Amino acid sequence: MPVVTCPQDFRAIARRRVPRAIFDYVDGGSYDELTLAANRRDLDAIRLRQRVMVDVSERRTECRVAGAECSMPVVLAPTGLAGLVHARGEILAAQAAEAAGVPFCLSTVSICSMEEVAAATTKPFWFQLYFMKDRDFVAQLIARAEKIGCSALVLTVDLPVTGQRHRDIRNGLSVPPRLTLPTLLDLLTKPGWGLRMLAGRRWNFGNLVGHIPKQPAGTSMAQWISGQFEPSMGWADVAWIKSQWKGPLVIKGVTDPDDARAALDAGADSIVVSNHGGRQLDGGPSSIAALPAVVKAVGGRADILVDGAIRGGHDVLKALALGAKATMMGRAFLYGLGAQGRAGVAKVLELTRKELDVAMALTGTNDVTAAGPHTLFQDSGL
């Protein structure tokens, strides 16, 4: 087993263990992957301010986000098809998140259903909603999430249509997954994955079983989404969602201050500054670059989370220094999941916590909630 020292180490392991079409679906972004690259590059360009001779013998990473007590400001982001990255993937990730004391957010398009995840966990998790064309079904999804005790509803607003992902087209990623000769040959080199999937006997969208008509063979992911998701969704629809859901409402997928103000007016309790991990508008800003203007526009009236290339504790501290209350982590936990299942996700979270703790100590930050502009090195322009 290769030595893992940081969450990113799991990427190479996952690449060897997960079928290529699934790995690329996780790893890739839309079009030229410019925004995907910018998410990472802009985080790398931020410098933390080193402080010395501060008593940092007692440090606290705990915080509260969207009503949830968190052991650190990290939430596992909603990711569709996580149950194809590893058999029972959503259950394993939710269990790892629960053990680590951080919220897990289940995607509408998960493989394991929300009821299955609830049955395998003891703490409430968050449910992410895509606004689908069948409004009665959206109401049913919300009612199910309430029934199983989900503690926050995360409405994703940045996917009225899908950004094209070249890799998915090249790999023939389809709904349901299709076995072509190249995918079959690739599968033969990943027997562990295949055997676990066969034992798990789940290949479809757990939350949508029975509601989505069977797709013709070879329906691409993008075609499927355009058939199901509602592209006319607007802020007025949020009022309807609020009439169905009484708990905390998180609006995910905002990068513009005007949109952030509109989200607040529509009744959002929290906002996730996100470009969907560089998987939607290519050429848009990195989420970390978009964060400060959104923080300013919101002016403390809602909690702000940010995601996009969060890979460890330094990234978390930078995001907090720029005004986020917490971060969401997508690919980093999926690589851990693909590499080692639940243990991999647990390790990603543990490494992130340790890195955050050290970064706090070296910036003289005793309480994670006290991070702010003073935590950043003000660039001298050299």
Cα angle, residue 171 at apex, residues 92 and 158 outer, rounded to 5°: 65
Q: Which is nearer to ligand FMN, 60 or 203 (CB)?
A: 203
Instruction: State yes or no: residue 77 binds ligand FMN (CB under 6 A).
Output: yes
- For ligand FMN, what does the binding mask look like between residues 112 and 131, x meaning CB under 6 A? ----------------x---
Pick one of 30, 61, 79, 270: the residue that binds ligand FMN (CB under 6 A): 79
- State the residue number with the nearest CB to ligand FMN: 330
Run of H or E residues at 356: helix 331-362
CB of 78 to ligand FMN, least distance (A): 4
Q: Tell me the torsion sign for CA atoms 118, 121, 125, 129.
A: negative
Instruction: State yes or no: residue 26 binds ligand FMN (CB under 6 A).
Output: yes
CB of 330 to ligand FMN, least distance (A): 2
Measured from the Cβ of residue 372, the count of other Cβ atoms closer than 10 Å reads 12
Q: Based on the residue annotation, tell me whether 314 is a catalytic residue of this protein.
A: no
Pick one of 35, 171, 220, 274: the residue that binds ligand FMN (CB under 6 A): 274
Q: Which stretch binds ligand FMN (CB under 6 A): 6-14, 74-82, 254-262, 335-343?
A: 74-82
CB of 195 to ligand FMN, least distance (A): 22
CB of 108 to ligand FMN, least distance (A): 6
Query: Tokens representing 219?
Result: 């329906």
What radius of gyration do the chain's Cα atoms show?
A: 20
DSSP 8-state code for residue 216: P
Q: Which amino acid is at 272?
A: V
DSSP 8-state code for residue 104: B
Pick one of 295, 306, 310, 322: the residue that binds ligand FMN (CB under 6 A): 310
Residues paired with residue 374 on neighbouring β-strands, in sequence order? none
List all residues 6 or more positions away from 23 whose beta carbon is below 8 Å from its beta carbon. Answer: 14, 15, 338
Query: Tokens representing 3?
Result: 């030595």
Instruction: State yes or no: residue 340 binds ligand FMN (CB under 6 A).
Output: no
d(CA 301, CA 290): 18
Instruction: State yes or no: residue 277 binds ligand FMN (CB under 6 A).
Output: yes
Judged by CB under 6 A, the chain residues 138 through 177 that form the site for ligand FMN are 156
Please tell me the number of Cα atoms within 13 Å of 315 on its side-chain side. 27
Q: Which residues are catalytic?
A: 276
What are the residues binding ligand FMN (CB under 6 A)? 25-26, 39, 77-80, 107, 109, 128, 156, 252, 274, 276-277, 279, 307-310, 328-332
